[in-house]
Structure 1
Amino acid sequence: MNNKILKQLEYPKIIEQLSAQAETSLGQEQVNQMKPSTELSEIQFWQRETDEAVQILRLKGHIPLGGIRDIRPQVKRAEIGGLLSAQEVLDVASTIYGGQQLKQFVANFDEEEELQIPILTERTESISNLHQLERSIRSCIDDYGHVMDGASSQLRTIRSQIRSYESRVRDRLEGFTKSKSQMLSDAIVTIRNNRYVLPVKSEYRSHFGGMVHDQSSSGQTLFIEPQSVVEMNNKLQEARVEEQHEIERILKALSERIQADGEFLRENVNALQQIDFMFAKAKLARHMKAAKPTVNEAGYINMRQARHPLLEDEDVVSNDIEIGDTYTAIVITGPNTGGKTVALKMVGLCTLMAQTGLQVPALDGCELAVFDHVFADIGDEQSIEQSLSTFSSHMTNIVDILNQVTESSLVLFDELGAGTDPQEGAGLAMSILDYVIEQKARVIATTHYPELKAYGYNRDEVTNASVEFDVETLQPTYRLLIGVPGRSNAFDISRRLGLSETVIEKAQSMVSDDSRSVENMIASLEQSRHEAERDYEQAAEILEEAENFYRSLKHEYNQYLNKKEQYEVKAKEKAEKVLDQAREEAEEILDDLKQLRDEHSVKDHHFIEARTKLDQQKAALKGSDKQEEQVESAKSIQSLEPGDEVHVKTFNQAGTIVQQVNDKEYEVQLGVLKMKVAKEQLEFVNRPEPEKTKPSPVVKGRQVHVKPELDLRGQRYEDAIQQLEKYVDEALLAGYHKVSIIHGKGTGALMKGVQQFAKEHRSIKGSEFGHANEGGTGVTILKLA
């Protein structure tokens, strides 16, 4: 793909948009190096890479890439023995931390989501855990790039001396500001040449002695270091020199540590660069509402509702386009500004994007071909310097294309044959198209010549297309119509604009019979298309009504099953109550009969038989429930679990258990539908073998399993603090040096409670709010001892 073609199809603008989506300079560097590939396997891998990132953004909305820097120059300088500055060393620690955050994000995501992300997982696994180096840097350099007092005991001692000297010098000079304020231009202590001085009026110079370090622009003020503080200032300067030497020693040691881990750091940077790049592609796809294309080497392109990638949604009209199956060439006709060139560029640019691993703005299921070359002759390339006309310029370009075209080429001609005599131009256009078709290339051409309309009908490899024009509004609709050539609207437009009917009729009489036949045929095709579209819309409405009716009927049937079961339960409960009441009444009658037994000589076995019959009746009622359960149990074989394959008797259809709703209902997947089904309507079929899952990566330490962050949002204050205390103990056991406490912003009460807890806990040596990409003031980072 030469740069001229890429520029004609506006590919550099896609690169600009993609670069803006990268979060790091590493990603931007990778974007600027990308080029379309011609290897099918490489393109397919790039597409899988982009799709992985798209799926993660869809589920999580973001990926943590904060704090990552391009530290390759620092690593290289350290490896040749150079001394890195404090900020450069801090950038190394920040990049190590950013890599670990990303690695943890992917590990947690892999645990929580049922999504296969092998490419991202492999790249994060290549990121080395350089915790020791990061801790060494963080213990010496603060978040602002300053070497801390605790970096070494020697530095702490030196800085203590510096503060002592500074205090003594300032105290002595402040004594002058009080006792001799009338001799000073301003009663303050200031600094010149890194030494503490006083602003003395020039006429009082002799009253202070010492050294003059500077004077004001007017010469009225002298900045004098009094003799009494010269010695203390000298000691202060010596201490500062010692401080600088100690800082350089510390930075040298850290630079040597970075040198030792240089290879691992480079590998980390390379992995982070690739990850930022793949997510930049995913963010661009989300912005464009794009879809993953299937790529092939058969020269087949099929896109539904495709849009030009560089046009905003409110400006673009979606179009369907297909080429490479029943026909290999498309000839597009229609009025100027109707969208012919946009359609041409859309196909070329989407092809280049797909071959770069980018998703394209079209519906899911789109398919694009991999071409060795994409050729284009688009726009007016008249050259005054070369004394070439528009026609000559186009022909020069076309000659180069014809010399290089192969069966693995996509050729795009805009206004083929324009700029010369119409008859000769039409002849050339048809001849050029014939040549390209003979080479078995894929070709799309736009033209004004009416002769090419018949050309499309006379060749099996060619189909006509047009851009639609609304005669009522006198405006193009920008819709691309495959299979229908564009017709001349000159007479209709003239009539709408008020041209005399007499003039129009005379003009029509001058048109040849062949031309009128072609125009009538095109008009008939357009009418047939409009009728087909109208029928399609009606069919779509009927289909939607049928689907709504089906959903309503299904809902009502489910309600019927629920109510049926409820009525059965109520009937059984009512029958039991009636039977219990009858039993009580029978017991009372039997008691009365017992009292009269001696008089009537009634035997005991008669009472026993009567009571036994009553008990049998009640047992029969309860036994019916058990019998039903046994029958159902025999049919279902065993209790149903998610993933089991079942037969739904109601619909006589196979399904899969999604989940158990309650003791009597299951949610079942039937094709694309999910619905609740009563337990008795299900018959067990099969239980698939469970897939082996990877063990979840957890941090282990002294038999403690704990994540590096705790979420307290939504909890009561007392419960949150109690949980925080327990979590800190577990984190200490796990060996963490830094953990994140997510408390949210809210009223601020929980945030203050966490901050206060951190101050009082003896094992917490410091706390800070998270960075902007970590949650800002909604997250507190605890540094553990």
Structure 2
Amino acid sequence: MFEKVLKTLEFDKIKSLLLEFASSSLGADKIKSLLPSTSYDEVVKLQEETDEAASVIRLKGNVPLSGIYDIRPHVKRSEIGGILSPNDFVQIASTIHASRVIKHFIEDITDSKDILIPILVKKSDGMSILTPLEHEIKNAVDENGEVLDSASTELRHIRQQLRANESRVREKLEGYIRSKNAQKMLSDAIVTIRNDRYVIPVKQEYRGHYGGIVHDQSSSGQTLFIEPQSIVQLNNQLREFKLKEQQEIEKILQALTVEIAAASHELLEIVRIMGELDFIFAKAKFGASIKATKPKVNDNGIVKLFKARHPLLAMDEAVANDIAIGENYSTIVITGPNTGGKTVTLKTIGICTIMAQAGLQIPTLDGSEINVFKQVFADIGDEQSIEQSLSTFSSHMVNIVEILKLVDHESLVLFDELGAGTDPQEGAALAISILDEVYNRGAKVIATTHYPELKAYGYNREGVMNASVEFNVETLSPTYKLLIGVPGRSNAFEISKRLGLNDAVIEHARSYIGADTNEVENMIASLEQSRRLAEEERLEANELMKSADKLHKDLQKQMIEFYEQRDKMYEKAEAKAAKVVDKAKSEAEEIIHDLRKLQQNKKAEIKEHELIEARKRLEGAAPELEKTSKSVKRSASKHEFAAGDEVKVLSFDQKGHLVERVSRNEWQVQIGIMKMKVKESDLEFIKGKQKVETKPLATVKGRDYHVSLELDLRGERYEGALIRVEKYLDDAVLAGYPRVSIIHGKGTGALRQGVQEYLKNHRNVKRIRFGEAGEGGSGVTVVELK
């Protein structure tokens, strides 16, 4: 795409914001060179990798990407035989460590199976584990770039001798500064260093007292820094040890450099992949900061943006608009007043398209869709005045001429104030001609204009849609809302009236406006009024629906509580009655036992059959319980119930169907949309089950149809989604499904949260959970039905 178009649409500012989320210079370099792709397959891949990173951030909150350095120059230097510095090794070890940390981080996510991230896993697998090399470097060099004694046995031995020699030199010099003449002959009682040799500061007049070598003097010349003769030999030995130390350090660094050169391929691959991971996660973090979502990507020319915001505007200030093109129409002509938001609308669709093709998520709601265009053209000027000069008109025409040379059916064209800056009649004619030319080539076009002649353009041509930005005459300010299908109208008379212009002057002005123009303006005003009324009625209907839904939920909850309370009371009554019966039987057995005992003792003549009859009389005396709230008896001819039978629940006088037997004398019955447990004694058989197909079927309005195991809500509005969920659950219950899946996508999470909140209170829902890794993860809710 042309660099001028990217600058016009402010893609450079998007990249500047994106840079703030890079964790290393590697990621920053990739951001600086970021350009939108024109390959459909590549854009799909870019969006998928950004979405994986966004899922990781939502799950983990943060990603360990610190400690990454661009070590490519160090590795290249090692390959050509150079010796690396200690600080070079520090950066190499830090980068190896960072790669190991992010690799384990991604492996942990994969092992937990919370989300599927195949692209990130593949990149992570491409990094070699160089832990031995990392440890070798850290054993030789510390974090500050100092070579450690542990780097080699020889270095440790040299440094031990060096420290011992330094101690002797210091001890000798401290003897000088503690002597009785020190205060008189020395400028200061300190041991210092000049030219890497230990010296003492001696006053000029006493230089001959100590002998030795003068290494420096003060600026006044009154103090000489002298190495006394007695320690010259010790300083020479110290110098020799330091040279040996330096030689040994170079030897150690040389050996480590060889190790780096041997692992150069693995190290360069680590750098490449870590840069890509930093870049991918930077895109995801930026998307989260502007509440962006992953758009669907297509190559059939369709663009659908739901509640799109311009990413450079503050979220609490930007007005979100729905913008669609490419399905029923390929051209949109936006009319309306200055500063009404027309240019922002153009830039919003332009920058969202470019961001999506660069692999960035866009500031829209879930379900938005972007086409991959080969070229995006934009003729957008900053000048908003109607007093445009000829040079401005000429510059616009130069841009348009270049656009017309290259535009085709795979292009998106954005025209701002098309044809402005010249004679209105000629400008309008040019605008219509240019639009026709671009439209005939199959490009997708969005154009803004002031010309009233273009208001009729959409009505005269198929595939062209009028639009406008709303203006509030009462407040004399634009609302920045885009109205698709409604052309803009002049508000000059209304604004003038609000500002106090005399009515007579306004009416006189109206007399100069043609009848056709008045009719068009009146028609537009009528359309705007109808739209506002429809919007108000829609909002009112939504409120009523929410109120009705709340009432419906409350009634369901109360009904369920009633049934549960009724069952508890039945169970309590049965338990109490059972205790009474058990007590009566126990007492009867005790009486019979006593009678037998008397018979055996021959104290009473009692026949066995009399005892049996007495027991029967006692058992017959046991109380019978009424199982229902009504004294209703079933038909004498007992029917063997089976699942699917149509029955009547006597206690409620309602018909239903048997779902399954839950115990020896209890069935689960479907009454309308409710399922409940009912005693068999409370059921009356009506007719047997009907033959059904092998597939589960649900019946709605007297006809059968197949019920899917999944409900896809992506792209739905909140209220419409809940209506679909309620209907779908009823159908799934009637079909006898134990479990279904509801696909709501990830996005901002608003739809997911709303759906899950609804499901938690639903009468037929047993429990809910997110989908497993293979079921769609957090983009799917699995519902277990009662």
Q: TM-score, normalised by structure 2?
A: 0.78
Contact 1:173 1:189 in 2 (8 A): yes
Contact 1:78 1:258 in 2 (8 A): yes
**Segment of structure 1 superposing worse, 430-439 or 588-597:** 588-597
Counterpart of 1:480 in 2: which secondary structure?
strand
By how many angstroms is 1:616 displaced?
12
C-alpha separation in 2, matches of 1:605 and 1:200: 139
For residues 56-82 of structure 1, the C-alpha deviation after alignment (integer angstroms, 9 at most, x for no partner) is: 111111111111211111111111111
By how many angstroms is 1:211 displaced?
1.6
The corresponding residue for 1:252 is 254
Residue 546 (str. 1) matches residue 632 (str. 2): no
Counterpart of 1:345 in 2: which secondary structure?
helix
The alignment yields a C-alpha RMSD, in angstroms, of 3.4
Counterpart of 1:465 in 2: which secondary structure?
strand
Counterpart of 1:510 in 2: which secondary structure?
coil
By how many angstroms is 1:592 displaced?
4.7
For residues 68-97 of structure 1, the C-alpha deviation after alignment (integer angstroms, 9 at most, x for no partner) is: 211111111111111111111121111111
Contact 1:655 1:670 in 2 (8 A): no
For residues 486-508 of structure 1, the C-alpha deviation after alignment (integer angstroms, 9 at most, x for no partner) is: 11111111111111111111111
By how many angstroms is 1:595 displaced?
5.7
Which letter maps to 2:75? V
Contact 2:390 2:421 in 1 (8 A): no
By how many angstroms is 1:566 displaced?
3.8
> Mapping of 1:3-42 within 5 angstroms?
3-42=3-42
Find the partner of 1:285 among 279, 287, 293.
287
By how many angstroms is 1:10 displaced?
0.8
Contact 2:113 2:772 in 1 (8 A): no
By how many angstroms is 1:290 displaced?
0.8
Counterpart of 1:315 in 2: which secondary structure?
coil
For residues 1-21 of structure 1, the C-alpha deviation after alignment (integer angstroms, 9 at most, x for no partner) is: 111111111111111122221
CA 1:153–1:416 in 2, change beyond 3 Å: closer, same or farther? same
C-alpha separation in 2, matches of 1:611 and 1:137: 97
Which letter maps to 2:38? T
Residue 183 (str. 1) matches residue 185 (str. 2): yes
C-alpha separation in 2, matches of 1:293 and 1:529: 29
By how many angstroms is 1:22 displaced?
1.3
Counterpart of 1:268 in 2: which secondary structure?
helix
Contact 1:465 1:482 in 2 (8 A): yes
C-alpha separation in 2, matches of 1:206 and 1:586: 134
CA 1:34–1:230 in 2, change beyond 3 Å: closer, same or farther? same
Contact 1:97 1:134 in 2 (8 A): yes
The corresponding residue for 1:56 is 56
The corresponding residue for 1:537 is 539
By how many angstroms is 1:145 displaced?
2.0
For residues 136-161 of structure 1, the C-alpha deviation after alignment (integer angstroms, 9 at most, x for no partner) is: 11221222222111111111111111
The corresponding residue for 2:365 is 363
Q: Percent identity?
A: 53
Q: TM-score, normalised by structure 1?
A: 0.78
C-alpha separation in 1, matches of 2:379 and 2:739: 58
C-alpha separation in 2, matches of 1:539 and 1:218: 95
The corresponding residue for 1:599 is 603
For residues 414-468 of structure 1, the C-alpha deviation after alignment (integer angstroms, 9 at most, x for no partner) is: 1111111111111111111111111111111111111111122211121111111
Contact 2:733 2:764 in 1 (8 A): no
CA 1:178–1:609 in 2, change beyond 3 Å: closer, same or farther? farther
The corresponding residue for 1:104 is 104
Contact 2:390 2:422 in 1 (8 A): no
CA 1:565–1:260 in 2, change beyond 3 Å: closer, same or farther? farther
Contact 1:474 1:493 in 2 (8 A): yes
By how many angstroms is 1:586 displaced?
3.5
C-alpha separation in 1, matches of 2:10 and 2:232: 70
Find the partner of 2:235 among 221, 233, 236.
233
By how many angstroms is 1:25 displaced?
1.0
The corresponding residue for 2:116 is 116
CA 1:96–1:215 in 2, change beyond 3 Å: closer, same or farther? same
Counterpart of 2:317 in 1: which secondary structure?
coil
The corresponding residue for 1:470 is 472
Which letter maps to 1:673? L
Counterpart of 2:526 in 1: which secondary structure?
helix
Counterpart of 1:429 in 2: which secondary structure?
helix
C-alpha separation in 2, matches of 1:691 and 1:66: 31
Which letter maps to 1:150? S
**Segment of structure 1 superposing worse, 99-108 or 547-556:** 547-556
The corresponding residue for 1:673 is 759
C-alpha separation in 1, matches of 2:610 and 2:250: 112
CA 1:670–1:334 in 2, change beyond 3 Å: closer, same or farther? closer
By how many angstroms is 1:314 displaced?
2.1
The corresponding residue for 2:394 is 392
The corresponding residue for 1:652 is 734
By how many angstroms is 1:219 displaced?
2.0
By how many angstroms is 1:672 displaced?
7.4
For residues 344-394 of structure 1, the C-alpha deviation after alignment (integer angstroms, 9 at most, x for no partner) is: 111111111111111111111001111111111111589xxxx97111111
Gaps of 5+ in 1: 622-626, 636-643, 660-668, 683-687, 693-785
C-alpha separation in 2, matches of 1:35 and 1:628: 64
Counterpart of 2:140 in 1: which secondary structure?
coil
The corresponding residue for 2:507 is 505
* Greater relative CO (CA pairs within 8 A, separation 6+): 2
CA 1:602–1:323 in 2, change beyond 3 Å: closer, same or farther? same
C-alpha separation in 2, matches of 1:678 and 1:342: 47
The corresponding residue for 2:438 is 436
Task: Count residues with an aligned counterpart.
Answer: 660
C-alpha separation in 1, matches of 2:576 and 2:326: 73
C-alpha separation in 1, matches of 2:56 and 2:620: 64
C-alpha separation in 2, matches of 1:511 and 1:670: 57
> Mapping of 1:629-644 within 5 angstroms?
629=663
Find the partner of 2:222 among 199, 220, 223.
220
Which letter maps to 1:400? E
Which letter maps to 1:69? Y
CA 1:649–1:503 in 2, change beyond 3 Å: closer, same or farther? closer
Contact 2:662 2:668 in 1 (8 A): no
CA 1:552–1:242 in 2, change beyond 3 Å: closer, same or farther? farther
Which letter maps to 1:550? H
Which letter maps to 1:601? E
